[in-house]
Chains A and B, each alone.
Chain A
Amino acid sequence: MATRETVGAATERRIGRVLIAVTYLSVGLLTTGVGLLLAAGVSPLAGGPGLDLATIGSGIAALDPAGFLWLGLLAVIAAPISRVVLAAFAYARTDDWQMVAVAVAILAIIAIGIATAGTATF
């Protein structure tokens, strides 16, 4: 039977690989978006559109730079969050509920940030 330490090291390697994979995915999406932006001759200082989740898919289908750029940016933000989610599952498998609680609390803070920013007016 694997020891707790061995399970931890293997899990950390797996989490590390996911983190790297998501980062390279985001680099690919952003590079495509920047390439399309430059090819279209649009200045970055022209001001890009804000985030609209509903239009990302259609933007990508239409080879709109903003679609690729926003998906890439969301992937950038998702990378560390996915690391915390994976760690939560890994700690749950080893019955380390204290660390599961820490991971859930981190995700809750991010969720609170989204909720409060979405409702606040400045």
Chain B
Amino acid sequence: MIVGLLMLAGGAVTGLFGSLLGLGGGVLIVPLLTLGFGLPLREAVGVSLVCVIMTSSAAAGVYLERHVANLRLGMTLELFTALGALVGGSIAFLLDDRLISLLFAGLLGYVSLTMARTRPAVTLDAAELAVAPAEDHARPTMLDRLSGDRYRIRNLGRGVVGAVGAGVASALLGIGGGIVKVPLMHLVMGVPLRVATATSNLMIGITAAASTVIYVIHGGIDPYVAGPTAIGVFLGATAGSRLGHRVDLGLLRVLFVIVLGYTAIQMSLRVIG
């Protein structure tokens, strides 16, 4: 019983941290389960994918209700993230655990460095949203149809390639892939940050679902572990979305960078040991 409660609490903490810092929980759940509970890496990745779907579905539902996410763009890109996830989910069972641990340690190191350098988020105003309005064509092009009312999509080809990569990373490492998709849509494709974040969240569900079914069929998901962890993550993420404005994010960010750096080292040691 104590292990179950610890798993629930651990999931809640990762969900809370992830929500407060704008990360999916995936980057934290895998280390929690492998380093904290001694689970095999692939099983931890499978459970993490379940948690990622759960938190993203709840948030994506709200984004769709509020008409913030770009459903048309999200579905077009998730066709390619799902393709990447299919490839990633299939090769995940062929790769050596140590290689996946190494990739995960690299991911943690990257996220840690990125967060250490990140400046406070700037609120988007109407002027920024209207930087590149959709052009008025007699016959709308593909890009016109994917663009929003007040912004125009560019570099769709690069977006597609990046989406495939995000799908592979999601399936191999048990992450939502927002860390790839948000910068891709915002910086490369010209999508306003708020819309990119909402659309990425929408895409996470189907991306993770495409590989989760493979993990389920291969016996890579233990329901006894997935249940308490997913409930914990869901509760933590829900609490985080309500506490966000009351917490000193500067201090939290420093703490998080330290925890991620330490976890990256521990994951690297698994490769050596």
Q: Which residues of A contact B29 (CB under 8 A)?
A: none
The residue that A109 contacts in the complex, of B1, B54, B83, B231, with Cβ under 8 A, is: B83
B63 at the interface (CB under 8 A from A): yes
Query: Given A45-B3, A76-B57, A117-B90, are A106 and B223 neighbors across the interface (CB < 8 Å)?
Result: no
The complex places the Cα of A24 from the Cα of B82 at a distance, in Å, of: 24
Q: Are B94 and A77 in contact (CB under 8 A)?
A: no
Q: Are A113 and B71 in contact (CB under 8 A)?
A: no
Q: Are A76 and B7 in contact (CB under 8 A)?
A: no
B216 at the interface (CB under 8 A from A): yes
Q: Which residues of A contact B226 (CB under 8 A)?
A: 69, 73
The complex places the Cα of A3 from the Cα of B221 at a distance, in Å, of: 45
The complex places the Cα of A28 from the Cα of B273 at a distance, in Å, of: 40
Q: Which residues of B contact A31 (CB under 8 A)?
A: 231
Query: Given A70-B223, A80-B206, are A102 and B64 neighbors across the interface (CB < 8 Å)?
Result: no
Q: Which residues of B contact A41 (CB under 8 A)?
A: 1
> What are the interface flags for B5-19 relative to A under an 8 Å C-beta threshold, 1 for contact and 0 otherwise?
101100000000000
Query: Given A33-B223, A106-B79, are A79 and B53 neighbors across the interface (CB < 8 Å)?
Result: yes
Query: Given A13-B64, A43-B4, A99-B75, are A113 and B223 neighbors across the interface (CB < 8 Å)?
Result: no
B64 to chain A, nearest CB (A): 3
> What are the interface flags for A1-42 relative to B under an 8 Å C-beta threshold, 1 for contact and 0 otherwise?
000000011001101111110111011001101100110011
Query: Given A48-B222, A103-B75, are A113 and B63 neighbors across the interface (CB < 8 Å)?
Result: no
The residue that B213 contacts in the complex, of A22, A49, A72, A117, with Cβ under 8 A, is: A117
The complex places the Cα of A83 from the Cα of B201 at a distance, in Å, of: 13
Q: For chains A and B in complex, what number of residue pairs have CB atoms within 8 angstroms?
A: 193
Contact sample, A vs B, 30 pairs, CB 8 Å cutoff: A16-B61, A20-B58, A20-B61, A27-B231, A30-B227, A34-B8, A34-B228, A37-B4, A43-B1, A43-B4, A44-B228, A73-B50, A73-B221, A76-B57, A80-B60, A80-B205, A81-B209, A102-B76, A102-B79, A105-B79, A106-B206, A109-B82, A109-B83, A109-B86, A113-B214, A117-B90, A117-B213, A117-B214, A117-B217, A122-B94
CB within 8 Å of A: which residues of B?
Answer: 1, 3-5, 7-8, 37-39, 50, 53-54, 56-58, 60-67, 69, 71-72, 75-76, 78-79, 82-83, 85-86, 89-90, 93-94, 145, 205-206, 208-214, 216-219, 221-228, 230-231, 234
CB within 8 Å of B: which residues of A?
Answer: 8-9, 12-13, 15-20, 22-24, 26-27, 30-31, 33-34, 37-38, 41-51, 65-66, 69-70, 72-73, 76-77, 79-81, 83-84, 87, 98-99, 102-103, 105-106, 109-110, 112-114, 116-118, 120, 122
Apart from A20-B58, A87-B71, 18 more pairs, CB < 8 Å: A16-B62, A19-B60, A34-B8, A37-B228, A44-B4, A44-B222, A44-B227, A66-B223, A69-B223, A73-B223, A76-B54, A79-B57, A83-B57, A84-B75, A102-B75, A109-B86, A113-B90, A113-B210
